[in-house]
């Protein structure tokens, strides 16, 4: 199920950043536990199903926006002891397992949870129609609360991951101040960051009916979303309108960025991807620097065409490094029939107009 996949990805990223220089000695115990869910991660990275990972496959799947291409290549070479540039997935799995630490137990629990939930859902599907009204009510309640608990846990994990990536970006910026573009690789603070628990206990809100601890912050977030919605509703017809042709030598011309993303979805993953796309669209639409988001269903084959309009290229690049964008990218890797195609184009900002 998708929630588990997203959580696994975040766990692995967190474990790598927290323990990157301190291999743990608990890895041999991995053999005693059934962690096939961990090995499946590396099988998904193997896009051509040959049991091996090229550097291109490694970079596509594991790039996290913190390490650059050269650093990723050095890591790949370090893992690939035979220097074959085509590494067995088992080799990289064994290498990563040396750094699992407490996440070994997390992954084991997720695997058990995944099986338990699927079993419960199968029984629900078979027994729900025959159940009494009270039993049906309780089943709906339990499903809803289970979903809330998982969502709350995911939110806390996203907060932890964002904090780690932001810190990593700051450290890199301090080390490489001579590189003006380095700061753009940082994971930006999300507009709804107040959803993260603000106390020193990052996970203090996990088991409170799926809601963060700070109720006042909840109201602030909802008010901000309403204000953004009202602002967008007041300008009911946004569109691109080219101005009169003119020649200018100004170096301060502002541009907006239009991104076209073609997403060919594998039919077997259609419902799963649709849910991920819906969540991604809701998040992206709420961003301050996002001017417009539109989704069109492809007619020729299963899939979607996603259009995003951003205030500028930097806004677009920063968005790509957000936790939600990375989560959507992971969903794309798992659910798409072939890699997505992204095309971008810059337009003068003066072309973007609103008609009341």
- For the stretch 121-149, pLDDT in tens is 888 888 888 889 898 888 888 888 888 88
Domain assignment present for 290: yes
Question: What pTM, to 2 d.p., does this model score?
Answer: 0.42
Would 247 be classed as within a structural domain? no
Domain of residue 195, residue span: 143-217
- Judgement on whether residues 160 and 191 belong to the same structural domain of the protein: yes
Q: Which of these three, 217, 240, 264, is where a domain ends?
A: 217
Please check whether residues 96 and 194 belong to one and the same domain. Answer: no
pLDDT in tens, 208-262: 333 333 444 444 444 454 455 445 444 445 555 555 555 555 555 788 899 999 9
Considering only 11-25, 73-87, 143-157, which range has the smallest mean pLDDT? 11-25
Which of these three, 187, 217, 247, is where a domain ends? 217
Considering the domain architecture, whether residues 12 and 112 belong to the same structural domain is answered as: yes
Greater confidence (23 vs 287) lies with 287
How many structural domains is the chain composed of?
Answer: 3
Categorize the per-residue pLDDT at 263 as very low, low, confident or very high, splitting at 50, 70 and 90. very high
Instruction: Give the per-residue pLDDT at 260.
Output: 92
161 occurs within a structural domain:
yes
163 shares a domain with 108: no
- Which neighbouring-strand residues pair with 308? 259, 293
How many alpha carbons fall within 13 Å on the CB side of residue 300? 4
Kindly state the tokens that stand for 139. 């089943």
Residue 236 lies in a domain: no
Q: Are residues 18 and 105 in the same domain?
A: yes
Token couple for 130: 């025959």
Residue at 226 is within a domain? no
Spatial CB neighbours of 336, under 8 Å, sequence gap ≥ 6: 263, 264, 265, 266, 269, 273, 303
Q: Give the CATH number of the domain where residue 285 resides.
A: 3.30.70.100
């Amino acid at each position: 199920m998708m929630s588990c996949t997203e959580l696994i990805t975040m766990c692995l990223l967190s474990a790598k950043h927290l323990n990157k220089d301190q291999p743990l000695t608990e890895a041999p115990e991995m053999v005693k536990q059934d962690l096939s869910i961990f090995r499946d991660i590396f099988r998904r990275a193997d896009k051509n199903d040959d049991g091996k990972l090229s550097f291109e496959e490694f970079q596509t799947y594991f790039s996290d926006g913190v390490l650059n291409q050269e650093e990723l290549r050095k890591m790949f070479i370090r893992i690939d002891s035979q220097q074959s540039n085509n590494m067995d997935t088992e080799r990289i799995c064994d290498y990563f397992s040396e750094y699992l630490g407490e996440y070994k137990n997390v992954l084991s629990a997720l695997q058990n949870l995944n099986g338990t939930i699927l079993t419960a859902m199968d029984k629900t599907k078979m027994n729900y129609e025959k159940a009494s009204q009270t039993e049906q009510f309780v089943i709906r309640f339990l499903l809803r609360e289970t979903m809330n608990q998982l969502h709350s846990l995911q939110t806390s994990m996203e907060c932890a991951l964002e904090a780690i990536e932001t810190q990593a970006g700051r450290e890199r910026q301090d080390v490489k101040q001579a590189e003006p573009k380095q700061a753009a690789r940082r994971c930006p603070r999300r507009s709804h960051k107040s959803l993260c628990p603000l106390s020193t206990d990052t996970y203090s809100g996990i088991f409170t009916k799926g809601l963060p601890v700070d109720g006042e912050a909840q109201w602030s977030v909802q008010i901000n979303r309403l204000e953004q919605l009202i602002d967008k509703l007041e300008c009911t017809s946004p569109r691109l309108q080219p101005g009169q042709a003119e020649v200018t030598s100004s170096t301060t011309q502002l541009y907006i960025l239009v991104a076209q993303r073609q997403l060919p979805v594998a039919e077997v993953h259609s419902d799963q991807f649709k849910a991920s796309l819906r969540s991604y669209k809701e998040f992206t639409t709420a961003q301050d620097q996002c001017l417009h988001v539109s989704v069109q269903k492809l007619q020729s084959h299963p899939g979607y065409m996603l259009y995003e309009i951003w205030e500028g290229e930097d806004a677009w690049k920063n968005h790509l490094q957000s936790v939600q964008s990375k989560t959507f990218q992971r969903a794309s890797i798992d659910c798409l029939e072939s890699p997505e195609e992204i095309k971008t184009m810059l337009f003068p900002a003066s072309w973007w107009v609103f008609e009341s």
